[in-house]
Amino acid sequence: MNVVTLERFNILVAASTLKPRQKREIRFVASTATLSQANWLEAEMVAITERSDTKGVLLISNDSDYFLIPYELKRGMASNLTGRAQPIICDLCRTWQSGSRAGSVTFPLSGQKSVSYLCCADLQCSAHVRSKTSAAKTSRSQLREDLTTEDRVARFQERLRRLVKDLATPAL
């Protein structure tokens, strides 16, 4: 995705159907401060958090369209039997994550319904599919995938397309 400036993000937020409280609470600058221009260019999805750091919006780039999808994140997937954090495979990027790095992301649907996915607790899926994180390197040894980086990126982009199709309308 191209670099999204604060001004551009504010235009996207103003045009979105986010609730007024969500529009006030999201912290674009704090959430994107560590992204370099190279990271922006390789990102299909960027998490913009609220103050609570467990809620926010996913900024997803799909071709030339941008989508804002509100989410709620629950970190650590504890087993009901043992109480220990369980490792998962992220439903978005297919990265194996240890229990401390695992999470569940919930997206609201119309009415009182919602849908949840297992996910990387840091929501850095774009970096994980490109093997730029230590978690991604661990995952490649755990899953023993023989996919190339380009194939993993294509698979991730397809999953995001389906997510956007199911949950969002274009922000602009």
Give the containing element (helix H, strand E) for 123. Answer: none
Residues near 115 by beta carbon (within 8 Å), at least 6 away in sequence? 106, 107, 109, 166, 167
Residue 153 CB coordination number (10 Å): 17
Q: What is the pLDDT along the chain (172 residues), one digit of tens a residue?
A: 889 999 999 999 999 888 999 999 999 999 999 999 999 999 999 999 998 889 999 999 987 789 999 999 998 776 667 777 788 899 999 999 888 889 999 998 877 889 999 999 999 999 999 989 888 888 877 777 788 889 999 999 999 999 998 886 544 4
* Domain limits, the chain: 6-167
pTM: 0.88
Q: To 5 degrees, how large is the angle CA 138–CA 140–CA 142?
A: 70
Q: Evaluate the CA torsion angle 71, 110, 93, 36 in order and state its sign.
A: negative
